[in-house]
Amino acid sequence: MRVNRAKLNELIAAKLHKAGLSKEHADGVADVLVHADVRGIHSHGAMRVEYYAERIAKGGINTEPEFKFEKTGPCTAVFDGDNGVGHVAAKQAMDEAIKMAESSGIAAVGVRRIGHSGALSYFVRQAAKAGMIGISVCQSDPMVVPFGGSEPYYGTNPIAFAAPSQDDRIITLDMATTVQAWGKILHARSRHESIPESWAVDREGHPTTDPFKVNALLPIAGPKGYGLMMMVDVLSGILLGLPFGNKVSSMYHDLTEYRNLGQFHLVINPAFFTDPGEFKQRISQTMDELNRIKPAPGIAQVLFPGQNSDHIQAEYEKNGIEIVDEIYEYLVSDIVHKNQYDNKDPFAK
């Protein structure tokens, strides 16, 4: 069904507040989740609310965190999220990184001890809206077989990038280092749809098209994706003194425990490298030139990264965001959660 953006934001915030978050933090999480849904990234939108609500209600997210921001050098800092909701901590850390980059030209901010933070595109677009380049990476559950391996070690370990143009368009890259993000598997399950066989393997290590039989994900481009997820793990885990590799906490193992996850923001101020107006003009030129490239057979138009989500957002803003009926029914119900995620095998139905 279709729900307008304001209503969806209100429903999500109300459910998270009922679960135990402060109104301020519930509103902050809802903003990030609705950002995902309105841009067609449903794997990181409203479908995550019940999981968050259960973890909040069971104490696995600190509902009264004491955030601490400490500058460690002229352009470096660490933001400690005290295991509060990752969405709010990561947003505030990016705000601080933008302020630092305004005066120092570049800012590298490690975000440590947080919960799951949702779609990284939200945070890098914060930087782009401030006229800067944003890069963000974060850890996730070990559920990916390394190239040549048969047991999961790394997570989907996403990478995001955004840069501003002269006309308010934003180039946006937000990608898992797996062929597909785990959230996409969950989205396929919620719709009872099959998945491409290149996404994942079953318990025997064979490719599967059944999202309910998935037992491990595959790295994008084989050894290249494997190398990228290792890089993300170093930046958002080892660099920040946090658990790493297969020691990263599971999303579902024990919802009463804090997750202690890490994220890493890098913000670059173009004004310290070139004329900022010229920089934005060239980004716009890049976008336009990509759109004018002759498309391959069967393709309507070459799009710049993030443009398809721009089109989806324009349509959803006009006609309402498409939400699975079951998820909407949960959001409007009096139920906080149905106790279905705690100590669950992440690959189980």
Residue positions annotated with a catalytic role: 116
- List alpha helices for 293-324, DSSP H: 307-319
* 348: exposed, middle or buried (Cβ count in 10 Å: 0-12, 13-18, 19+): exposed
* Adjacent-strand bridge partners of 52: none
Distance separating alpha carbons of residues 56 and 85, to the nearest angstrom: 9
Are 140 and 115 contacting, i.e. CB atoms less than 8 angstroms apart? no
Distance separating alpha carbons of residues 349 and 337, to the nearest angstrom: 17
Q: At what angle do helices 86-104 and 23-38 cross, to 10 degrees?
A: 80
DSSP 8-state symbol, 209: S
Cα dihedral sign, 275-279-285-286:
positive
Q: Which of 195, 161, 157 is nearest to 177 (CA)?
A: 157
Burial 184-212 (b: 16+ CB within 10 A, else e): bbbbbbeeeeebeeebbbeeeeeebeebe
Distance separating alpha carbons of residues 103 and 125, to the nearest angstrom: 19
Count of CA atoms in the C-beta half-sphere (13 A) of 203: 5
Are 214 and 239 contacting, i.e. CB atoms less than 8 angstroms apart? no
The pair of structure tokens assigned to 63 is 């509902």
Are 158 and 140 contacting, i.e. CB atoms less than 8 angstroms apart? yes
Distance separating alpha carbons of residues 92 and 25, to the nearest angstrom: 11
